[in-house]
Structure 1
Amino acid sequence: MTSNGTIYDMRDKVALVTGASSGIGRATALAFAKAGARVMLADVQDEAGDAAAREIAACARLRGGDARFVHADVSSAADVRAMVAHTVETFGGLDYAFNNAGIEGALAPTADYPDETWQRVLAINLTGVFLCMKHEIPALRARGGGAIVNNASILGLVGFASAPAYTAAKHGVLGLTKVTAQELATEGIRVNAVCPGFIETPMVMERGVALAHDDAARREVAGLHPMNRLGTSEEIAAAVLWLCSGAASFVTGEPLVVDGGYVTR
C-alpha cells in the first residue's frame, strides 16, 4: 500500500512472508493480501500464525487472493526448503519474498554476551536470511523474476551498545543483500532490504528494550528519532510493498531506511 492509501495490483502474484504471526510480518502479509496477492505466512508460532492467516485470507479473497500458514523455523535448512516448496505447491509459484523473521536476543555488553544467545541470534537473523534466499531464488527464477526484501534494521547501519549479536547479524544481512542483488541483477530478480527504526511491535514494546510499560524509556527512545515517535508496522509494510512493486523496478541492493530520521543524527 502506498502512503496515500492506494493499493498495488498484485493479483495473480504469490508472496511469502516469514515471521508473519505478528508485528511487521503480519502487517506486511496483510498489505500483500489487500493488494490481491496469494500470501504464505510462515512462523514458529503456530497458533498465532494460523489465526493471522485466517483473518488475512478474508481480506485477500476480496481482491482475488488467498492466505495460508506454514510452520517454519528459518534457522533450519529443512524447514526453509519445505516452506518454499509448500508455497510453490499451494499457490503455483513465488513472486515476492519478505524475509522478516528475527529475534532480539539479550541486551548485554560484548564481553558478557552469552555464547549460546550469540549463536541463536545469528542463526535466525542472518543464517535464516541466507537459507531463505538460497531456496527462494530457484522458485523466483522458475517464475521468470521477482523481488526479495530482507528485514535488516537501522542497526545494520549503526551500532547499538549492548546489542552485539543483533547489530552484527543485521550488518550481515545488508552485506548479503548487496552481494545477492549483484548476482541476480540481470535475471529480473531484485534484492533489497528495509531498515526500520524502532517500531511499535512486540519485539520492541514487550521484549528487548520493552517500552510498553516504561513511559520514560519510551519517550527517550522516541526522542532518538527526529520525528519524535516510534514507527508503525504498517509504515514498514508500505516500504516492503513498494520495493516489490514495479514502482521500484530500477532499485536493487538498496538498504531502504524507514526510521523517522534516526540515522541522520
Structure 2
Amino acid sequence: MKYEQVKNAAEFLSEKFGNQPKIGLILGSGLGVLADEIENPVKIPYSQIPDFPVSTVEGHVGQLVFGLLNDVYVLVMQGRFHFYEGYTMDKVTFPVRVMKELGIESLIVTNAAGGINESFSPGDLMLITDHINNMGTNPLIGPNDSRLGVRFPDMSEAYSKEYLNVAKQTAARLNLQVREGVYVGNTGPTYETPAEVRLARTLGGDAVGMSTVPEVIVARHAGMRVLGISCISNMAAGILDQPLNHEEVIETTEKVRAQFLLYVKELVSELGSM
C-alpha cells in the first residue's frame, strides 16, 4: 500500500462530506444497523472508493456512511474486510489509514466474537482490554512509511485506558452490564476446535474472533486512540457441546440490537465531547 493511494481515497471522500468526521466506527457482523441511526447520511459504496476492497460476508453491507450520530460527525464502516476473504493485510486495514488521513483520531471498533470465558453468555457486550494476535502475521510487515507511523509502534496501550474508563462509566449510567476481557484474533474462516479454544483460554483470552486485531494495530501505528467492543454472539467450540454457524452469530446480534445501539450512541457523545 502506498501513501498516495491513502491520500487519493481520502481526497475522494472529503469532497463528499460537508464537515470533518471526528470519530470512526467499524461495525462487525450483524452490527451494521447502527449506521441506520445516522442523521442526513452520506452513503458511499466501497466499490466507488479508489483502491477500497469490497465486503463479501453476509451481515456486512459494504459501504461508508458519514453523518451525525448524537450530534457528533462520524464515519462508519458498515461492514469490514477480513484476512480470510483473501485480502492482504494492507487491504484489510486500508480504511483505517484513510480515516486517519481524513483527520479522525478516535476509532470505535466492534465485532461479533465467540465467548471463551465460561462466565460469559451469548448476548453479552465485552469491552476489549487487550488482544492477542494469533493470526501468524502483522499488517506492518514490510517497508515502513514514516508518514503513516513509526517503524516499531508501542502496543502497551492498544485500547485506550481513558476510553475504557469512559465506556465503563457510561455503561453504569445506562444500568447496562458489560464484561471486560482479552480478544484473541485468529485468521478463520473455520471456527476454532475445542482444543484451540482451551489453548486460547490458557493464554488468557476471554473471546475469540476473526477480525479487529489488524485494524487496531494499524490504528495505533497511526497514533489513533481505540475503543473495542465485542458482542459475544455464541460460546466457543467445546463449551456447550453444540455446532457453530454464522446464522447463530447474526441471530444473537439481532437480539442485542437495542442495547448495542443505545450504548454506542452514548459512547459517541461522550468521546466526541473529549
Shorter-normalised TM-score: what interval? 0.3 to 0.5
Q: Which has the higher contact order (CA 8 A, sep 6+)?
A: 2
Under a length normalisation based on structure 1, what TM-score does the superposition of the two structures give? 0.37
Q: If each structure's strand is expressed as a fraction of its own residues, which one has the higher value? A: 2
Under a length normalisation based on structure 2, what TM-score does the superposition of the two structures give? 0.36
Q: If each structure's helix is expressed as a fraction of its own residues, which one has the higher value? A: 1
